[in-house]
Amino acid sequence: MTTKNLLTILFLPFTCLSCKKDCSPKPSAYYRIDEQKEEFVVYETRDISFEVSSKAIIHSEKKGTETWITIRYPQYRAYLYCTYLPITKGSLRPAIDDSYRMAFSHTVKANGISQEVLQIPAQKTGGVLYKIGGNVATPRQFFVTDSVSHFFRASLYFDGRANADSLMPVVKCMDKNIHRLTSLLKWKN
């Protein structure tokens, strides 16, 4: 047996074992989302004003006495669907009940729902921010009202499938936008 044949016989098993393909499934990857420094601009309707990211795209339409506002954040593939309602003494309770019902309709899929009280003393305004955990369609919903004339509610939605783990960095960014919007919201009239 020649040296060449002996080396071939010795190294053949190593080369066969080293070329083995890994056929195990790989987990899905998600884009890395870095928080961006944002500038804010004032958005006004006939009834309210608030601040939103300058990168947001806003569409508003009047439906009877209601104003529907869609705030799109293209960099996050997120939407805030907002509704402004003028209220009277008799319409406040049903509006609050609807907001509560809409938030708690997610209990089937939610890991939990916490409520954060929102207070804006300068505007004599208060409300509730619902933080809905788990793979739900709307991880954040909120309403604010002066309890006399104005009611504003919104729900946060994302393009694509709800995956709480991958959306968490974006939800945290959106929390800052929501807090800024609610804390600087002003009623007109």
Q: What CATH number does residue 80 fall under?
A: 3.40.1000
Can you give the pTM of this predicted structure?
0.79
Q: Which pLDDT does position 60 carry in this prediction?
A: 94
- Could you give the number of structural domains in the chain? 1
User: Mind listing the pLDDT tens digit for each residue in 154-163?
Assistant: 999 998 777 7
Q: Which pLDDT does position 31 carry in this prediction?
A: 58
14 inside domain: no
Q: List Cβ<8 Å contacts ≥24 apart for 182-186.
A: 182/50, 182/118, 182/120, 182/127, 182/129, 182/142, 182/144, 183/118, 183/120, 184/50, 184/51, 185/48, 185/49, 185/50, 185/120, 185/123, 185/125, 185/144, 185/152, 186/48, 186/49, 186/50, 186/123
79 inside domain: yes
Q: Which pLDDT does position 53 carry in this prediction?
A: 93
83 inside domain: yes
9 inside domain: no
Average pLDDT along the chain: 86
Q: Which pLDDT does position 149 carry in this prediction?
A: 93
Q: Which domain holds residue 85?
A: 40-187
